[in-house]
Chains A and B, each alone.
Chain A
Amino acid sequence: MRKYYDDIRRIAGNVVTVRASDVGYDDLAVVSTGRGDSLAQVIRLEGREVSLQVFAGTQGVSNNDRVRFLRHPMQVPFSNDLLGRVFDGAGRPRDGRERINADGVDVGSPPVNPVRRRMPDKMIETRIPMIDIFNSLVESQKLPIFSVAGELYNELLARIGLQADADIIILGGMGLRHDDYLKFRQTFEDGGVLGRTVMYIHTAADPVVECLLIPDQCLAVAEQFALQGRRVLVLLTDMTAFADALKEISIIMEQIPSNRGYPGDLYTQLARRYEKAVDFDEAGSVTVLACVTMPGDDVTHPVPDNTGYITEGQFYLRNGRIEPFGSLSRLKQQVNGETRDDHRAIMDGCIQLYALCRESREKRDMGFEMSPWDRRLLKYGELFENRIMNLAVNIPLFEALDRCWAILAECFEPMETGIRQSIIEKHWPR
Chain B
Amino acid sequence: MNGRIIAVHGNLVKAETSTRVVQNSVGYCVRGDGTRLLSEVIRVRGNVADMQVFEETRGLRVNDPVEFREEMLSVTLGPGLLGGIYDGLQNPLPKLAEQVGYFLTPGQYMTPLPTDNKWTFSPAVQTGAAVQAGDTLGTVPETLFEHAIMVPFGWRGTYKVQRIAEPGDYTIEDEIAVLSDDSGQEHPVRMRQTWPVKLPLCVARQRQMPQDPLVTRVRIIDSMFPVVRGGTYCIPGPFGAGKTVLQQITARHAEIDIVIIAACGERAGEVVETLRDFPKLQDPRTGRSLIERTIIICNTSAMPVAAREASIYTAVTLAEYYRQMGLNILLLADSTSRWAQAMRELSGRLEEIPGEEAFPAYLESRIAALYERAGVIELKDGRIGSLTIGGTVSPAGGNMEEPVTQGTLKVVGAFYGLSRARSDARRYPAIDPLESWSKYRGIIDPAKVAKVRRLLARGNEIKQMMTVVGEEGTSIEDLTTALSADVFDNCFLQQNAFDEVDGATPADRQIFAFDKLLEVLELEYAFADKEQARRAMVLITDLIRNWNYAAADTDEYRDRLAKIDRFIATKGQES
When chains A and B are docked, how far (Å) is the Cα of A256 from the Cα of B349?
A: 9
User: Is B553 interfacial (CB-CB < 8 Å)?
Assistant: no
User: Is B167 interfacial (CB-CB < 8 Å)?
Assistant: no
Stretch at the interface among A161-169, A176-184, A361-369: A361-369
Stretch at the interface among A10-18, A44-52, A81-89, A187-195: A44-52
When chains A and B are docked, how far (Å) is the Cα of A155 from the Cα of B269?
A: 28
Q: Mark A328-348, 1 if CB is under 8 A from B, else 0.
A: 101101000100000010001
Total interface residues in chain A, CB < 8 Å: 85
Which one of B276, B302, B396, B399 lies within 8 Å of A272 (CB-CB)? B302
User: Is A114 interfacial (CB-CB < 8 Å)?
Assistant: yes
Q: A112 and B103: CB pair below 8 A?
A: yes
**A333 partner residues in chain B, CB cutoff 8 A:** 498
Which one of A257, A263, A373 lies within 8 Å of B534 (CB-CB)? A373
**A300 partner residues in chain B, CB cutoff 8 A:** 396-399
B251 to chain A, nearest CB (A): 16
**A301 partner residues in chain B, CB cutoff 8 A:** 397
Q: B268 and A371: CB pair below 8 A?
A: no
Q: B58 and A26: CB pair below 8 A?
A: yes
On whether A115 and B94 interact (CB within 8 A), knowing A227-B102, A415-B542, the answer reads yes
Q: B240 and A305: CB pair below 8 A?
A: no
When chains A and B are docked, how far (Å) is the Cα of A148 from the Cα of B497?
A: 34
A218 to chain B, nearest CB (A): 16
Q: Mark A234-269, 1 if CB is under 8 A from B, else 0.
A: 000000000000000000000111110001110110
User: Is B168 interfacial (CB-CB < 8 Å)?
Assistant: no
User: Is A116 interfacial (CB-CB < 8 Å)?
Assistant: yes
Q: B103 and A258: CB pair below 8 A?
A: no
Which one of B59, B96, B267 lies within 8 Å of A312 (CB-CB)? B267
B135 to chain A, nearest CB (A): 36
Which one of B238, B269, B275, B470 lies within 8 Å of A115 (CB-CB)? B275
**A418 partner residues in chain B, CB cutoff 8 A:** 541-542, 545
Q: Mark A255-287, 1 if CB is under 8 A from B, else 0.
A: 111110001110110011001101011010000
Q: A47 and B62: CB pair below 8 A?
A: yes
Q: A113 and B103: CB pair below 8 A?
A: yes
Smallest CB gap from B541: residue in A? A418
User: Is A70 interfacial (CB-CB < 8 Å)?
Assistant: no
User: Is A317 interfacial (CB-CB < 8 Å)?
Assistant: no
User: Is B345 interfacial (CB-CB < 8 Å)?
Assistant: yes
A116 to chain B, nearest CB (A): 5
B575 to chain A, nearest CB (A): 10
B136 to chain A, nearest CB (A): 33
Q: B61 and A117: CB pair below 8 A?
A: no
When chains A and B are docked, how far (Å) is the Cα of A283 from the Cα of B298?
A: 23
Q: A47 and B6: CB pair below 8 A?
A: yes
User: Is B539 interfacial (CB-CB < 8 Å)?
Assistant: yes
A residues at B contact (CB < 8 Å): 21-27, 43-48, 73, 108-120, 140, 227, 255-259, 263-265, 267-268, 271-272, 275-276, 278, 280-281, 283, 299-302, 305-306, 308-310, 312-314, 325-326, 328, 330-331, 333, 337, 344, 348, 351-352, 355, 362-363, 366-369, 371-373, 415-416, 418, 420-421
B residues at A contact (CB < 8 Å): 6-10, 32, 56-63, 85, 93-94, 96-97, 100-106, 238-240, 265, 267-269, 271-273, 275-277, 298, 300-303, 305, 338, 341, 344-345, 348, 351, 354, 357-359, 394, 396-399, 420, 424-426, 467, 470-472, 498, 530-531, 534, 538-539, 541-542, 545-546, 549
- List 9 additional contacts besides A265-B348, A308-B240, A326-B420; criterion CB under 8 Å: A22-B62, A46-B6, A111-B302, A115-B85, A264-B358, A271-B265, A275-B300, A283-B102, A312-B267
